[in-house]
Amino acid sequence: MRRMSQAPEPLTDLPPWRAENGTPAPRRVVRADDTLSADSAYRLACEGTGLLWQGDFHNARQLLQALTRRAERKPRKISKISKAEEAGPATHATTASLAAAAAQNFHLHRQALGQRARTLGMVLVPLNGDYTIPLRRAPDLRQACTEAWGPATGEACMVSLRELLGLVGAHEWRKKGLEITALGDAPNNRIRPHYGVFSPLRGEYLDLVATTALPNKTLAFDIGVGTGVLSALLAKRGVQRIVATDLDPRALTCARDNLKRLQRIDKVELVQADLFPEGQAPLVVCNPPWVPARPSSPIEHAVYDEDSRMLRGFLSGLRAHLSPQGEGWLILSDLAEHLGLRSREALLGWISEGGLTVLGRHDVRPRHGKAADTTDPLHAARAQEVTSLWRLGSVA
Ligand SMILES: C[S@@+](CC[C@H](N)C(=O)[O-])C[C@H]1O[C@@H](n2cnc3c(N)ncnc32)[C@H](O)[C@@H]1O
């Protein structure tokens, strides 16, 4: 790539902006091609200038990789107190300040990720109205775009290359699927997540649901169905009827696809609802997003639960939806506690305010690679994480 000698002229006649992750269009966009050096591109991207690619598609990918390397060179800010937390257990007096420092660390980390995403999102590509890409050596991404965005509307647009590659990643996951050993033997144990739907990548919580004794097999509610993995698991365990809810239509479509393929759909009724369906059940299962933070885009609603809205809603409404002797199963990691975002006292307070009592708790340590990654800025919290299945009943 050669260097550009002059500051590029901003483009005025631009196609409409498309961003599923909710980021606004760059305020200034310039034409970019194979003559642009990675350093110039990085400087422009850091300033918030969009680079509408006109050259070879593969070179655009290489440019994005070069920008990613530059963005990763930036030092990460980690608070000193969080480092101190790694050194050993806190005394009572320091607990509150450690929690505040851990929370600050988490917010700084998210801020840095957000800034990095904004910079890397400045490499833009044009997209035709039928989702073809009018660039040399461009791949055919029509299927990936249709899966994520729905059928093409015929309107051309521009989109960030990073988002487009994210759609390709989601398409590959959907095609390949995730093997869920708790669902039985291959090949009928794969869950295929759709774009924007929470992927059950962490098998340990599924093992908790697969092994905890069922209070009753007649009926269960699955609150926040996502891919449908928990409904499939409960059906496999012999629960005769399951009513599963989600707010997100994408999740409901995804769950329907998975449950059909796994031949469990005859047992499951899918309902678009805020938390609970009508009525009561002897088992009500919920795996809310584990981190109480503001989602930075619509597709993050499955990962972040702002102000613990779903968790608190589940705990305050559960009692009214439990049959006599029924059990609520809350699946929750304590990562938020180690990140200083929620205290154990708050969780226990919400349980008791909901007229609930803890019947038992099964704990498991995470097995995923991040838990052992000492270079992860959130390592101190992740290293202590425990995921639990809380068995809750109504106070007599
Ligand atoms: C962490 S995911 C869990 C998905 C799935 N149950 C699992 O265990 O893999 C949480 C799900 O709850 C859904 N959700 C969030 N708020 C909700 C609400 N108020 N009512 C129903 N579903 C909700 C999200 O769309 C998401 O699919």
Backbone angles phi, psi at 22, to 5 degrees: 80, 0
Q: Give the total residue count for the chain.
A: 396
Task: Give nearest CA residue, ligand 1 atom 26.
Answer: 302
Task: State in Å: Cα 295 to ligand 1 middle.
Answer: 13
- Residue 58: both structure tokens together: 């593969």
d(CA 126, CA 57): 11
Q: At which residue do the structure tokens 């929690």 appear?
A: 99
Calculate how far, in angstroms, residue 2's C-alpha sits from the geometric centre of ligand 1.
Answer: 48
Q: Could you tell me which residues are beta bridge partners of residue 49?
A: 28
Q: Which atom of ligand 1 is nearest to the CA of 198?
A: 2
For 52, the 3-state DSSP assignment is strand
**Rounded CA gap, 24 and 14, in Å?**
14
In sequence order, the β-bridge partners of residue 333 are 387
Helix axes 57-73, 161-176, angle to 10 degrees: 100
Contact residues of ligand 1, CB 6 A cut-off: 198, 200, 223-227, 229-230, 245-248, 251, 274-275, 287-289, 301-302, 310
| Cα distance between residue 336 and residue 35, in whole Å | 46
Q: Which atom of ligand 1 is nearest to the CA of 248?
A: 25
- What pLDDT shows up at residue 293? 87
In this structure, which residue's CA is closest to atom 12 in ligand 1? 224
Mutate which of 180, 199, 223, 304 for ligand 1? The one with the most ligand atoms within 8 Å of its CB, which is 223
Asked if residue 187 has a cis previous peptide bond (ω within 30° of 0), the answer is yes
What's the CA-to-centroid distance between 141 and ligand 1, angstroms?
A: 28
Give the model's pLDDT for residue 252.
98
Residue of 208, 207, 234 lying closest to 221 (CA atoms):
234
pTM of the entire structure? 0.88
- What is the pLDDT, as a whole number, of residue 97? 79
246 alpha carbon – ligand 1 mean position (Å):
6
Q: What pLDDT shows up at residue 74?
A: 61
Q: d(Cα 220, Cα 98) in Å, to the nearest integer?
A: 40
Q: Is-contact 3 40, C-beta < 8 A?
A: yes
Tell me the C-alpha distance between 209 and 66, whole Å: 43
How many CB atoms are closer than 10 A to CB 137? 12
Which amino acid does the sequence have at 185?
D
What dihedral angle (degrees, nearest 10) is formed by the CA atoms of 4, 61, 149, 44? -30
Under the phi-then-psi rule, with left for phi > 0, alpha for psi from -120 to 50, and beta for the rest, what region is 279? left
Minimum-distance ligand 1 atom for the alpha carbon of 225: 6
**Angle, helix 57-73 to helix 92-120, in steps of 10 degrees:** 150
| Distance from the alpha carbon of residue 302 to the mean position of ligand 1, in angstroms | 6
Of 27, 24, 89, 29, give the one whose Cα is nearest residue 53: 29
Helices (H), 79-140: 80-87, 92-120
The preferred substitution site among 270, 301, 304, 314 for testing ligand 1, maximizing ligand atoms within 8 Å of CB, is: 301
Task: Compute how many other C-beta atoms are within 10 angstroms of the C-beta atom of residue 339.
Answer: 25
Residue with tokens 């003559």: 35
Q: Name residue 156's beta-bridge partners.
A: none
CA dihedral 105→107→108→114, nearest 10 degrees, is 150
pLDDT of the residue at 23: 85
Task: Tell how far the Cα of 244 is from the centroid of ligand 1, in angstroms.
Answer: 10
Q: How far is the CA of 306 from the centre of ligand 1 (A)?
A: 13
Pairing of strands 281-286, 178-179: unpaired
Residue where the block lists tokens 């999102």: 121
The one-digit pLDDT tens for each residue of the chain (396 residues) are: 444 446 678 888 889 999 987 788 999 999 999 999 999 999 999 999 999 999 999 999 999 999 999 998 865 554 444 444 444 555 655 677 778 888 888 888 888 888 898 999 999 999 999 999 999 999 999 999 999 999 999 999 999 999 999 999 999 999 999 999 999 988 889 999 999 999 998 889 999 999 999 999 999 999 999 999 999 999 999 999 999 999 999 999 999 999 999 999 999 999 999 999 999 999 999 999 988 988 877 778 788 899 999 999 999 999 999 999 999 999 999 999 999 999 999 999 999 999 999 999 999 998 776 767 777 777 878 888 999 999 999 998
**Contact between residue 364 and residue 202 where contact means Cβ atoms under 8 Å apart:** no
For a pocket test of ligand 1, which of 284, 285, 287, 312 has the largest count of ligand atoms closer than 8 A to its C-beta?
287
